[in-house]
Structure 1
Amino acid sequence: MSNTVFHRQVTPEEKQQIDEILQHLHQQKLLVINPRRKNGLILYKPYHAEFAGPGAAIGSNFDQDVIDVLPVGKLSLTEPRTSQERINSYLIRRQWVKLAKQISDNTVAQQRDQVILNQFEHWFDLETASVLPDETFALLVGVLPQTMRKVRTQNELLSQ
């Protein structure tokens, strides 16, 4: 794996964190995104990306095909301590997947981009959303990276 996550430079500390997460995922270890923080993980798979937000399960059988990850916010992972925590984390992951599907069901690519961008700005903040690569948003909602760049450029022009 290189020192960039889909065209975003990462620090040595981020690279170490990414490598550790990938190792856990490839070992099929079940982890949970800390539900008490504004954080999440983008999971890059061969043909798309998924976002696992606060409370969501990652690893186990879900993410055997992950090729890279990108922490969002100040990522904190925990291990489920009880079977109920495990079940809840599965259900929350399912909710994140359903939300992405709802966004992706829109037939207009620019609208999908605008919605996912708005969601990330709402879940986190403008600064956090602005550092995520166009390619990442494109993989999350099934559009071309140039479509995302166009939406972002239009938003920048409107905010001036």
Structure 2
Amino acid sequence: MDSENQQRYQPSIALACLPVGNIHFSGCRNQCNSRNDSTDHSASEILKLLRSGQVLMVNSRRRNGLILYKGFHAEFAGPGAAVGSFYDRDCDWALPVGNLSLLTPETHEERQKAYLIRRQWIRLIKQITEKSQPQQRVQKILEQFEQYFDSQTVSQIPDEAFARLVGVLPQTANTVRSAARILEDID
């Protein structure tokens, strides 16, 4: 059974398997437009894939995902989630999180499962945004990401990405993150 799964997951998108967890987002904490060149290249290539109309899914066997910037908000597509196709044609920017790997679902069942998982990720973010206080929303999304990704990966995600995910200003995300760092230093 394992060899059958390995064969099914072999056709991963080579470009999207670039190790992106170590990219330093210099100057990207407060403005989405100031990205470094290596981030621009991989993210713009991923964006082309998303807009191609092809259904892809985030590899469920890795701690990885995509933050998809859309208009005035962002969505997170975590492990197992479908990306691309009609879902993401309106995507303005794609921010890879972790060591991103995108796969092509081989069967209708895999595609259906990936769509269901994408919907679960959307519901998780929706639950977080239902908190009334902006600081609580930022704190909760940070807790969710820190439970799943290592602290170095989470620290590289810009404030604007977290802010767009939960519907707050980037300054609010920055304030909550700064307070958390101060508390960590005290401990």
- What TM-score, normalized to structure 2? 0.79
RMSD: 1.5
2:90 aligned residue: 65
Distance 1:47 1:39, change over 3 A: same
C-alpha deviation, 1:28, in angstroms? 1.3
Indicate the residue corresponding to 1:6 in structure 2: 32
1:21-80 CA-partner distances (Å, limit 9, x unpaired): 111222211100000000000100011000000000001111111010000000000000
Displacement of 1:8 after TM fit? 6.0
Q: Which residue of 2 aligns with 1:134?
A: 159
Query: Where does the alignment leave 5 or more consecutive residues of structure 2 unmatched?
Result: 1-27
Matches within 5 A, 1:101-140: 101-140=126-165
Q: Match for residue 37 of structure 1?
A: 62
4+ long deviations beyond 3 Å: 7-11
Q: 2:32 is matched by which residue type in structure 1?
A: F
Amino acid across the alignment from 2:120:
Q
19 and 96 in structure 1: CA distance in 2 versus 1, 3 angstrom threshold: same
Residues 8 and 133, structure 1, Cα contact 8 Å, conserved in 2: no
Secondary structure at the aligned position of 1:69 is classed as: strand
Aligned residues: 156
Q: For residue 61 of structure 1, give the secondary structure of its aligned residue in structure 2.
A: helix
Q: What secondary structure, in the 3-state scheme, does the structure 2 residue paired with 1:62 have?
A: helix
Match of 2:75 among 40, 47, 50: 50
Give TM-score scaled by structure 1 length: 0.92
* Residue matched to 1:143: 168
Q: Which of the pair has more CA radius of gyration? A: 2
| Structure 1 residue 136 displacement after superposition | 0.6
Match of 1:96 in 2: 121
**Distance in structure 2 (CA, Å) of the matches to 1:10 and 1:119:** 26
Identity %: 51
User: 1:33, 1:142 → 2: CA distance?
Assistant: 24
Q: What displacement does 1:15 show? A: 3.0
Unaligned 5+ segments in structure 1 are: none
